[in-house]
Structure 1
Amino acid sequence: MSQIAPKTIATWYVDPEAEERMADGHAPIWRHLVDLIVERDLKEKCVLDFGCNQGGLLRHLYAIRPFRKALGIDIAEQSIAKAEAFKGNLPVQHAVGGSLEGWVEEFDLAISHEVIYLIENIDAHAADIWRALKPGGVYYAVTGCHTDNPLWPKWRELVAKRTNTVVQDRSISDYGRAFAKAGFDVSGRKLEYDGFIPFVEDGWTPDFADALDYYTQTKVVFRLVKRRGGVAA
């Protein structure tokens, strides 16, 4: 495996403590996502978490469906440092960076959770993931941050204010076209989280009804399969 040239930030959130709260809030969503993954047996598989933050998703995945090895990559240096500190004896490597240059046909499964809406060049990202996956490999990309989200005009302002990132405006169809262009077979579904959603007044959802709709109707999961024998567009 090659090293990845970093293009970094210190933390995702302007308030670093917000990242800890975010991880706690995402934990039940991660477990739900793991249950949606079609590939059940990962014991001999190599997994990628793109935009892994503090590594929580990979730790949850390993606890539910152990994998052979994994890479978590993120542009936030302090988040990666925490991911390394938290991983214990898990077969996980972490790296700071925003691309997978040099990682060719390495991964059987790739995941990203609420990352793709922040990627400036989505076509380059799609091609990057396509190259990094083995033939027949699958990428699950999850986001509720898209222009089809009725809360998006408010959210894009909050993302710009609260994080050290640059917001991108894309629709669900925009993502589908980008991944299809890269050579993926594209499908998707609503996340349809079926657990209880906490009542939290943090500014993201004006009303509790908005939070309920977001996790059941707005948040989407793309399943992107690298065609065997195909070539990147």
Structure 2
Amino acid sequence: MTDASPFYDTWHIDPAREASMGDAHAPMWRHFIDSIPERDFATRTVMDFGCNRGGFLHLLHALRPFRRGVGIDIATASIQVAEATKGTLPLTFAATTDLSPWANSIDIAFSYEVIYLLPDLSEHANALYNTLRDGGVYYAVTGCHTGSPLWSVWRTLLAETSNAPVQDRAPDDFAKAFLDAGFSVSAKRFGYAGFIPADNDRTYYPSLLDALDYPSDHKLLFRLEKRT
């Protein structure tokens, strides 16, 4: 991504890795959905910020059918795939940095491993606050923060493999940005306890224990409620 444009084709420099990200994330997405207290989405309008190819919204609709879903990303090629593969689902996808068309219209918003990449976290927090209806909730997951013991390794890897800029933020930095925007902020450990593949790829996890501990202990789930 260049300074002249906030958009890029895909998040991952390697298009093949980009295409496989949805399958890799699916078990974590399912745990994410199971972790939130809301159960009935039948009358809800939802948003996935940083939706990539739309896989999370497909899974969400299969598990908690919603009235309408909006997927937002700045990866233009990924949004094209999302739009082409949405079928008859009640989904709208857009490559944009402007959330004003959805002001005060979203009941529940989600993002999964996105907020750590945002160059202006305060701007994002304010935009999401304005997008939610009164009493709406934004759930944001990230394990990419300076409190993670893997961050020193991952920061270099992400800089080498991603078209997006890499930011250094602590968990308290995320909390403060959303508090300052007016959200009621709470958080918990992501707590994923499913089976983790024990393969020979040590690119991201130096050991099997690292692979087990990261989604359980170091990945965080923020609950951000718009105060009324």
TM-score, structure 1 as length reference: 0.93
SS in 2 for 1:166: coil
Q: Tell me: CA distance 1:204–1:173, structure 2 relative to 1, closer, same or farther (3 Å).
A: same
**2:108 match:** 109
Q: Does 1:218 align with 2:218?
A: yes
Q: Does 1:124 align with 2:118?
A: no
Tell me the CA shift for residue 99 of structure 1.
Answer: 3.4
Residues 71-106 of structure 1 deviation map (CA, whole Å, 9 limit, x = unaligned)? 001000111111112211100000001331332101
Q: Is the 8 A contact 1:111 1:140 kept in 2?
A: yes
**1:84 match:** 83
Letter in 1 for 2:186: S
Q: Is the 8 A contact 1:72 1:92 kept in 2?
A: yes
What is the rounded CA distance, in whole Å, between the counterparts of 1:25 and 1:185 in structure 2? 31
Tell me the CA shift for residue 23 of structure 1.
Answer: 1.1
Give the alignment's Cα RMSD to 1 decimal.
1.1
Q: Is the 8 A contact 1:9 1:76 kept in 2?
A: yes
* 1:22-171 map, 5 Å: 22-171=21-170
Residues 203-224 of structure 1 deviation map (CA, whole Å, 9 limit, x = unaligned)? 0111111010001100000000
Residues 6-44 of structure 1 deviation map (CA, whole Å, 9 limit, x = unaligned)? 831011111011012221110010011100111111100
SS in 2 for 1:167: coil
Q: Tell me: CA distance 1:99–1:152, structure 2 relative to 1, closer, same or farther (3 Å).
A: farther
SS in 2 for 1:158: helix
In structure 1, stretches of 5+ residues that fail to align are: 1-5, 229-233
**1:7 match:** 6
Tell me the CA shift for residue 127 of structure 1.
Answer: 0.2
SS in 1 for 2:25: helix
What is the rounded CA distance, in whole Å, between the counterparts of 1:58 and 1:140 in structure 2? 14
Letter in 2 for 1:210: D
What is the rounded CA distance, in whole Å, between the counterparts of 1:207 and 1:85 in structure 2? 39
Tell me the CA shift for residue 199 of structure 1.
Answer: 1.9
Deviating beyond 6 angstroms after TM superposition, the runs of 4 or more aligned structure 1 residues are none
Number of equivalences: 223
- Percent identity, aligned pairs only, is 49
What is the rounded CA distance, in whole Å, between the counterparts of 2:136 and 2:73 in structure 1? 21
Letter in 1 for 2:207: D
SS in 1 for 2:206: coil
Tell me the CA shift for residue 202 of structure 1.
Answer: 4.9
What is the rounded CA distance, in whole Å, between the counterparts of 1:12 and 1:202 in structure 2? 21
SS in 1 for 2:22: helix
**1:231 match:** none
Residues 108-156 of structure 1 deviation map (CA, whole Å, 9 limit, x = unaligned)? 0000000000000000000000000000000000000000011101101
Q: Is the 8 A contact 1:99 1:125 kept in 2?
A: no
**1:3 match:** none
In structure 2, stretches of 5+ residues that fail to align are: none
SS in 1 for 2:101: coil
Letter in 2 for 1:225: E
